[in-house]
Chain A
């Protein structure tokens, strides 16, 4: 039920990838346990700005609303994060909503993160199995190692780490923390490790790990608290070894 408080939002909007962005201010009745997404849903039911102008509902991306799908990343009060866990009562107002700036604009708060998925292809972020037929159990894995892998495998390709990274820009090829961390994950797995050299070779090339400026902003914004800098350090070490190996063997 709404109480007598008001939620003030300032939203950056853009109709098309090549048109100019503009701002809209919208006020909503406050509701307990509201989050940024419930506010955007309330706007859909009454899309009117603070000065009474009827507008189109805001376009954004969301799905699970419980921070496991990675869809709803945006920049809220200057900080990149998932908007589902952005609880209104914990945010200073007006709540300023902007799209991520490092990915191609689609519309309003929606951007195109295809590049992240393409990077997963480049580094072969998968375990290459012989086939799906029942050929028995997987490798025995110590619980400690499993727990370490689990931390990395929670990466939901949300893009927070890349938005925060000074090295990652719209016009370069830098792969960024999330990709390097996935290299570490698959190189850790007993079967995945069989392709570890190929993965390392890929991130030794253009846009690879050597371009990391060690700003460490990635790990600060990761909603899943993935030890990204640890991954970068470890994979960085592995690439150095690989480089030496290449020099000696060639």
Chain B
């Protein structure tokens, strides 16, 4: 018997990393928790609107099965279904746990949890704590982990950077190479497994709704070590953000969940004060085009509509890339109570009070549905076997991933308030599997020769020294900005192959310029310059994954919109027709006249498209380029069908 307690290295202290740490500590494990900064400052704090769980407190008939259906439909059926279903079934228990941990969720008059509406569903399914739900959830988990730290089970390494996994001769992960951001020291830590909980990659795009640490570097490092990266091209552009110089600040979907309406003046370049524009001269385009879901269509749909109104119909407010998000019809007291935090952000950064004047907003890069590839094991009944060490393991044995940095759960488009859920869910769910992974290892890190760790450390010391000595003409921050601009111009809401090809060439040029970078600071104390160069190096690789994936995928699915491959759904089409069509097909030929005119042809196109493209994109690092292949998606529980949100 091994005397040592199982021990793990968790990289990142957002919701997923903290949930995993808490769960592992409860199972008596030891955890080293690594973060760029104090974990309480992680990006999860930016999540605003809420967290989904189908508890059905309002008698609407909601259920975890409905939540599951809405989520896979919202993701345009690209997600592996057993995982999504398991998450939705666990969601009520997760909310109850977070409530017990003291999260200040809004309450009903009786003192129970209050729920509100969010995009992509017709049910009130979203629990919330004012409009800073992410912050409140993160603090609750941060407090639990602090308790374990106090008890000696958790060792925090804040102000440290993860550089790579330590792989032994069999390519099994035995630890991590870390970089002390104060002293500059590079060293290794050993563990039974490493968990990447490092969040999204939005900084690759430069200005986004992401925090500065959301750089995608840790997962790209894993990719460079041979791990598969999946669905990189699926980047969510959030419809409503506040333009800014340093960042595009999110304006939560909850603003629309609480009645916010999107509109533009019907007349182009209308310079009137918006409050004086009469109702009949306003174009509520989401409500007009989608009477059932209205302002709460999924994010990909809303962003495309805004893009269309601004660039094709030329109706942006004041001729600029902006539309109104209007809450002024709601009472000030109601808004303060339900949305206080986000309305404060708007007034602090724009100087205008959204309770009195409509907000001016525009879409911004927000979330990555794709990420490092992770495994799972279903239990044969459409749920997950929680004891399986395969759950959340990347394609490198012993290297795991959780939260936004993995690719599961959200398919081609994430629904609002599902990300907080998937982060906490993965962190908690993977715990038992990690423990059984440790217990079943034939050899542990204690048995691995120390040369394996020494070599990994030496390689990184040399590498970072190389970055420190770079003395070319290019400013790395300018290069980073240029990279973001390439992606923003070519790999965003509307994608065209000619522009994607151009972007790939430009990224390759950028990689050439990277060789001529200058390290702007060569001192040895608390110097971010060498790290920044190493991060930029990874981000260039990630930009290639995203762009190449987008180029190769010739279809329109969720957030990946290529007008050239739009299947042109007939206006009067009902998605249930497709289910009927598939059933009838099993019993013989389909007669055209059984369906409204043009529908069979459309359904045939849809079916062919799915046969070719309803697959996970896999990128693997070969010869300094991402090599793309495709993998089957598990759609065993719900028949994929055309989406419709009218």
Contact = CB atoms under 8 A, between A and B. Distances in A.
Contact of A117 (B146, B211, B428): B146
A189 B529 contact: no
Interface string B29-50: 0000000011011110110000
A78 interface: no
Interface in A128-182: 128-129, 131-132, 134-138, 140-143, 146-147, 149-150, 153-154, 156-157
B247 A65 contact: yes
A64 B42 CA distance: 8
A132 B19 CA distance: 10
A87 interface: yes
Nearest to A47: B520
Contacts of B106: 143, 146
Q: Is the interface of A mostly helix, strand, loop or mixed?
A: loop
B182 A141 contact: no
A31 B246 CA distance: 11
Nearest to B99: A138
Interface in B147-194: 147, 149-150, 182
Contacts of B26: 131-132
Contacts of A32: 245
Nearest to B524: A16
B121 interface: no
B623 interface: no
Interface string B327-348: 0000000000100010001001
8 contacts: A34-B245, A35-B246, A38-B244, A38-B246, A64-B46, A85-B349, A137-B96, A154-B341
A69 interface: yes
B53 to A, nearest CB: 12
Interface string B97-113: 10111101111111110
Given A37-B246, A64-B45, A141-B111, 14 more contacts: A33-B349, A41-B246, A57-B477, A61-B37, A66-B345, A68-B45, A121-B150, A127-B100, A132-B22, A134-B97, A143-B108, A189-B102, A191-B100, A192-B102
A156 B45 contact: yes
B529 A57 contact: yes
Contacts of A186: 102
Nearest to A126: B143
**B23, B104, B525 interface centre (most CB from chain A within 10 Å):** B104
Interface stretch (A92-100, A105-113, A206-214, A239-247): A105-113
Interface in B207-261: 211-213, 243-247, 249-250
Contact of B345 (A41, A67, A138): A67
Given A146-B107, A153-B104, A154-B135, A64 B211 contact: yes
B245 A33 contact: yes
A204 interface: no
Given A45-B477, A146-B105, A189-B102, A153 B139 contact: yes
A191 B132 CA distance: 22
Interface in A32-56: 32-35, 37-38, 41, 44-47, 56
Contact of A66 (B213, B245, B247, B478): B247
A108 B269 CA distance: 46
B135 A138 contact: no
A236 interface: no
A64 B43 contact: yes
